[in-house]
Amino acid sequence: MPVSSLTASDLAQVTRVAELIRSHQSFLIVGHVRPDGDCIGSQLALGLGLRALGKQVRVYTPGPLMRHLTFLPHAHMVETALDMSFEPEVTAYVDCGGRDRAGQDFEPRGRIINIDHHLSNDHFGDAAYVNTRATAAGEMVYDVLQHLGVELTADIASALYLAIMADSGSFKFSNTVTRTFEIVTELVRAGASPSWIASEFYDTQRPGTLWLKGQILSHLHYECEGRLCWAEITQEMYERAGGESCEPEGLVSELRSIEGVEVSVLIHELAEGGARAGIRSRGTWDVNMIATELGGGGHRNASGCFIRGNYPEVRDRILDVARRHLAQPPAAQQVTAG
């Protein structure tokens, strides 16, 4: 086997999931709301794999299913309306950090499988494979299908490639490790086309999204000697761009990557008043502290908050807190607030 073995603990989990799959015949595979490339790719690969074993399979996500997620072979298998007459023996959650991620109204039927890599996952279900070291849920579906002896067809490989490529930021995030590339090698060998998948997934930008991105990039604000970079998206901008679905993805992280910038803040005016903000840092700045002070939270280098109220006042409050943190060195920030 060219791919590194699983740890004993992971193998035990995979074995239990595989046993539950082998001993049942009908499956509902569910993903999370606002599915991403990992979610759809993992669901589709598991669905195709179980069908190859002769199982009855339906694949469901609450959606919305964006165009850049529906290019894969057999993507039409993914349903966004739940057929209530379907009574599966097993409900398999994929890439869901918790049961509630499959939608508020969703009720599982039959026994429950849980395949996921989120820290928040509490190992719910009758058979759970939770591996927070996995690059993507797709990598874990790969493990399960290998254990089941499912042949790696080009269609399954393509779905898994999408999952891993998407959740690793095209192999740029820190979850990209040796085993990631070991598996990807097998996927490409089995027929996944890296350039085709990347092109279908990334190269479908809407004119309104690019216009909005352009407006933001040409109106960036630099403060604190260039260490703080912030920008805002107002409702007026959203209206001109074609609505909030035109929000450019990953922009607040891109702002963090500017020379000299240590903390970036992207503030969105909300239609109902107030704002939500994404806050990012690199290096030692703990932006979770900034977000926590604003009633939000997250991780050390990536946090966010959501504040109701008068927009200009809320925006200024967010910026004031960020400025105050940046006025002291990162080490002092930790000591003071920690």
Tell me the Ramachandran region of residue 195: left when phi exceeds 0, alpha when psi lies from -120 to 50, beta otherwise. alpha
- Residue pair 336/327 in contact (Cβ under 8 Å)? The answer is no
Which helix (H) or strand (E) is 19 found in, with range? helix 8-22
198 part of the interface to a copy of itself, by CB under 8 A: yes
Query: Among 219, 300, 308, 324, which residue sits at the site for a copy of itself (rule: CB under 8 A)?
Result: 219
State yes or no: residue 136 binds a copy of itself (CB under 8 A).
no
Q: Which of 7, 70, 199, 310 is the binder for a copy of itself (CB under 8 A)?
A: 199
Q: Which of 222, 284, 329, 335 binds a copy of itself (CB under 8 A)?
A: 222
- The distance of closest approach from Cβ of residue 59 to a copy of itself in the complex, given in angstroms and rounded to an integer, is 26
Nearest distance from residue 204's CB to a copy of itself, in Å?
5
Quick one: 259 or 272, whose CB is closer to a copy of itself?
259
Tokens of 5: 């073995």
Q: Is 215 in the site for a copy of itself (CB under 8 A)?
A: yes
CB of 64 to a copy of itself, least distance (A): 16
d(CA 330, CA 308): 29
Of residues 181 and 306, the one with the C-beta less far from a copy of itself: 181
Q: Residues 241-270: x/- map of binding to a copy of itself (CB under 8 A)?
A: -------------x-xxxx-----------
Quote the Cα angle for 49-52-55, to 5°.
Answer: 90
x-or-dash string of contact with a copy of itself, 50-79, rule CB under 8 A: -----------------x------------
In this structure, the strands spanning 228-233 and 221-223 are: antiparallel
Q: How far apart are CA 287 and CA 298, in angstroms?
A: 8
* Residue 231 neighbours by CB under 8 Å, 6+ apart: 216, 219, 220, 221, 251, 255, 265, 266, 267
Phi and psi at residue 168, to the nearest 5°: -100, 5
Fill in the per-residue mask, 278 to 317: x = in contact with a copy of itself (CB under 8 A), - = not in contact: ----x-----------------------------------
Q: Which residues contact 250 (CB under 8 A, 6 or more apart)?
A: none
What is the Cα–Cα distance from 305 to 267, expressed in whole angstroms? 10
Cα–Cα distance between 172 and 154 in angstroms, integer?
24
Whether 43 and 61 have beta carbons less than 8 Å apart is answered as: yes
**Among 132, 205, 245, 328, interactor with a copy of itself by CB under 8 A:** 205
Contact map string, positions 177 to 196, toward a copy of itself, x by CB under 8 A = xx-xxx-xx--xx----xx-
Instruction: Name the residues that contact a copy of itself, by CB under 8 A.
Output: 2, 67, 165, 170-178, 180-182, 184-185, 188-189, 194-195, 198-199, 202-207, 210-211, 213-220, 222, 226, 254, 256-259, 282
